[in-house]
Amino acid sequence: QVQLVESGGGVVQPGGSLRLSCAASGFTFSSYGMHWVRQAPGKGLEWVAFIRYDGSNKYYADSVKGRFTISRDNSKNTLYLQMNSLRAEDTAVYYCAKEAAAGPWALDYWGQGTLVTVSS
Amino acid sequence: DIQLTQSPSFLSASVGDRVTITCRASQGISSYLAWYQQKPGKAPKLLIYAASTLQSGVPSRFSGSGSGTEFTLTISSLQPEDFATYYCQQLNSYPITFGQGTRLEIK
């Protein structure tokens, strides 16, 4: 069965950095695009970034462009999100999610999320 | 960026009711719209993709329709487990965006 397990969250000071990981299993990781989506406490969902199955294309939300970098290691079945210059407004649960098997029309599996708290 | 506006933002209904949630896009997105259900403390769950295709394993009381700029999610007969928050999402163009959510509560 498909499993996505995020890790790397924690408390970091404003201006600091953090790298999130998402370990994938139960599907052919190298065949699917992957997303990061976040949710601030008590708020709605915000899409963060996408990477194509082969890493050839990456897209970002304007709110994180230039500060966050999405990447993947298909040999390790792992997705990453490098977060630099963190701000208080980046505080959120970060989910990794898989592009739908039916095509890039949805995100069909999600991890359980990892909490990032940016605070001094 | 494409804005998605859901209505209503809050909905109170009873078990057995038929409910409809609307999602309007600020510009045409063809049928590149998905619906998700999220319960407190849990990850979102995909319900509908391509505006009207039911995700495998999702009960048939859920249905989606629409294209272009106006979309609906309908639950034909509410069950206790359906009380949750629902989000629409457009995947027509980047940046991908979500609606603000519709919180469905028990009356």
How many residues belong to chain A? 120
pLDDT confidence bin for B88, thresholds 50/70/90: very high
Q: Which domain holds residue B18?
A: 4-106
Angle formed at CA B2 by CA A54 and CA B24, multiple of 5 degrees: 120
Q: Does the CB of B99 have a partner CB in chain A at under 8 Å?
A: yes
Question: What average pLDDT does this structure show over A88-107?
Answer: 94
Residues in B touching A52 (Cβ below 8 Å): none
- A105 pLDDT above the threshold of 90: no
Q: Which token pair is B92? A: 């027509």
- A104 pLDDT above the threshold of 90: no
- Find tokens 């939300």 and name the residue: A61
Question: What average pLDDT does this structure show over B60-82?
Answer: 97
CA nearest neighbour of A108 among B106, B53, B20, B14: B53
Q: How many domains does chain B have?
A: 1
Question: What average pLDDT does this structure show over A13-18?
Answer: 98
What confidence score (pLDDT) does residue A102 get?
A: 84
Nearest to A61 among B34, B95, B99 (CB): B95
Q: Which token pair is A71? A: 């990447």
Angle formed at CA A76 by CA A73 and CA A78, multiple of 5 degrees: 60
Summarize pLDDT for A36-69 with one digit per residue, the tens.
999 999 999 999 999 999 999 999 999 999 999 9
Count CB neighbours of A100 within 10 A.
21
**What CATH number is associated with residue B73?**
2.60.40.10
What confidence score (pLDDT) does residue B86 get?
A: 98
Q: What percent of chain B has pLDDT over 70?
A: 100
Round to whole Å and give the CA distance between B12 and B106. Answer: 6
